[in-house]
Copies of this chain bind each other. A is one copy, B any other.
Amino acid sequence: MSAGKIYGLGLGPGDPDLMSVRADRLLRNARHVAFFRKPGRSGQARKIVAGMIPQDAVEFPMEYPVTTEIPLTDPRYNALLAAFYEDCANHLKALAEQGEDIVVLCEGDPFFYGSFMHLYSRLRDKARVEVVPAITGMSGAWTATGDPITWGDDVLTVLMGTLPEETLTERMAQTDALVVMKIGRNIDKVKRALNAAGLYDRAWIVEFAQMPNQTVTKLSEACTKVTPYFSIIIVHGQGRRP
């Protein structure tokens, strides 16, 4: 019996119609489906594939032991997550050794700030792993705004809202086009940085890009409620265009 394969399956921004042909085929034939979720939640990735995976597929929800309860800087955060990823990787590896293929659901593109990367780094030398790239959440977001993100020689910078305010401001001030992800509780800091960098009035916020509940709003006109972790801020480049 030959070993099975572990697929890091990029789902794209959230619309099943925007999944790749390969991802669609792998999902519809899946026997084992693994996905991350917060305890007590159904999980965004699992929701996206509702109705696509076979009814008799075996599901393996991987529940984060911690999300925002412990600060990133606390050493316990790293230790807890490392043990968690190790456990998950071992489970997938054991399944693959039994000859089973497993698809691991990944929102967006698996190699772009994805949780799957933490399994991949633990599995790549011990199992057959294939990564299926996908449309990034940020592509979904800039498409939703109806304006191209980059023209000509524009520099694009992608920043995480979790960075220090000074770093955010400095990098924002130097770029032509900008994407900010991981906004959530960092929204006020990100807004101050955008203001300091002179980009606030050009910024858009996209929530649930390419999903039925998608919203696209000028940041300056967005209400003050806390935005979901997966909303994305977009500032379009204004480069050369004949």
Q: Which of B16, B118, B136, B140 contacts A139 (CB 8 A)?
A: B136
Q: Which of B78, B109, B132, B136 contacts A242 (CB 8 A)?
A: B78
Q: Which residues of B contact A134 (CB under 8 A)?
A: 135, 139
Known: A18-B22, A85-B242. A140 touches B148 (CB 8 A): no
| A153 touches B (CB below 8 Å) | yes
Minimal beta-carbon separation of A162 from chain B (angstroms): 5
Q: Which of B132, B136, B146, B150 contacts A113 (CB 8 A)?
A: B150
Chain A residues 105 to 137 lying within 8 A of chain B, measured CB to CB, are 109-114, 117-118, 120-121, 124, 131-136
| A163 touches B (CB below 8 Å) | yes
A77 to B112, CA, bound (A): 36
Complex contact A142–B18 (CB within 8 A): no
Chain A residues 154 to 175 lying within 8 A of chain B, measured CB to CB, are 154-160, 162-163, 167, 171, 174-175
Q: Which residues of B contact A131 (CB under 8 A)?
A: 143, 146
| A63 touches B (CB below 8 Å) | no
Q: Which of B22, B114, B143, B146 contacts A124 (CB 8 A)?
A: B146
A132 to B111, CA, bound (A): 22
Complex contact B171–A133 (CB within 8 A): no
Complex contact B22–A21 (CB within 8 A): no
Where the two chains meet, the residues of A that have a C-beta atom closer than 8 Å to any C-beta of B are 12-13, 16-22, 24, 72, 77-79, 81-82, 85, 109-114, 117-118, 120-121, 124, 131-136, 139-140, 142-143, 146-160, 162-163, 167, 171, 174-175, 210, 240-242
